[in-house]
Structure 1
Amino acid sequence: MRIGEVGLLTNDVVKLSNFYKLLLETENGSNDTVHQTILAEETMLTIYNDGSVKNNKNQNMCLAFTVNDIDAEYEKLVNLGVEIIEEPKLRPWGTKNMSFYDPDKNIIYFRSFNK
């Protein structure tokens, strides 16, 4: 068994989808205001407005992405005006991690493995 998809519920599908399209450097050809699916390699990210009001205090979940060059990704995020939580930092277990918020205040982690 494997996870087939990660879904983010939001009040603003277009805004959050556009952020992830920039972040993942991909395009889905959609500007749908209710539901968008973004494919990045083998993982599907779905952004959906189910009609309920979200408070954007997503404190019980995070998304983590493995990247090749965390320092380059950090510079890209800074240039996009993304709110950084923690700058890239080498961890005792051998990865270099950083964290930031998406437009809905979901916590996102980037990590890279030392080679």
Structure 2
Amino acid sequence: MKLGEVCIETNDVIKIAEFYRKILNISSDCSDEIHQYIITKGTTLTVYNNGAVKNNQNQNISIAFTVDDVDAEYERLLKLGVHIIDAPKLQPWGAKNMHFCDPDGNHIYFRSLPE
């Protein structure tokens, strides 16, 4: 068994999908206001509005993306105006992580793993 999809539920699909495309450096022509695929290969990342009002107090989930060079991604995201909560830091388990949030307050980590 493998994880098939992570879906971010939001009241503003356009805004959140644009944010993820920007931070993940992905382009798309999709402008659907209800459902958008951001990543379609491997584990899918989607953004969806099911019509229910969200409180944007997401405290029980985070999304981590493994990147080649977390320090380079840190500099790139700063130039994009992303507010970084924690700059890249080596963790006790060996990963080097940085932490930020999307516009809805979902916690995101970019990490580089030791070889």
TM range (shorter): over 0.9
Task: Indicate the residue corresponding to 1:72 in structure 2.
Answer: 72
How far the C-alpha of 1:37 sits from its partner, in A, is 0.8
- Specify the alignment match of 2:91 in structure 1: 91
1:3-37 per-position Cα deviation (integer Å, ceiling 9, x unaligned): 10000000100000001111111123201111101
The 2-side partners of 1:77 and 1:103 are apart by 14
State the 1:95 CA deviation. Answer: 1.2
2:114 counterpart of 1:114: yes
State the identity %.
56
Moved >4 Å (runs of 4+): none
Which residue of structure 2 lines up, in the alignment, with residue 51 of structure 1?
51
- Deviations, residues 39-66 of structure 1 (Å, cap 9, x unaligned): 2642211100000011111111000010
Supply the distance in 2 between the matched residues of 1:105 and 1:79 (Cα, whole angstroms).
20
Contact 1:28–1:39 (8 Å) recurs in 2: no
RMSD: 1.2
Q: Partners of 1:65 and 1:59 in 2: how far apart?
A: 18
Please state whether the residue corresponding to 1:33 is helix, strand or coil: coil
Partner of 2:82: 82
> Structure 2 counterpart of 1:105, which letter?
G
Query: Does residue 1:36 correspond to 2:46, yes or no?
Result: no
Count of residue pairs the alignment pairs up? 115
Kindly indicate whether residue 25 of structure 2 is the aligned counterpart of residue 17 of structure 1: no
In structure 1, stretches of 5+ residues that fail to align are none
- The one-letter code of the counterpart of 2:64 is A
Q: Is the 8 A contact 1:94 1:114 kept in 2?
A: yes
Query: Which consecutive residues of structure 2, in runs of 5 or more, have no partner in the other structure?
Result: none
Tell me how far apart the structure 2 counterparts of residues 80 and 55 of structure 1 sit (CA, whole Å).
26
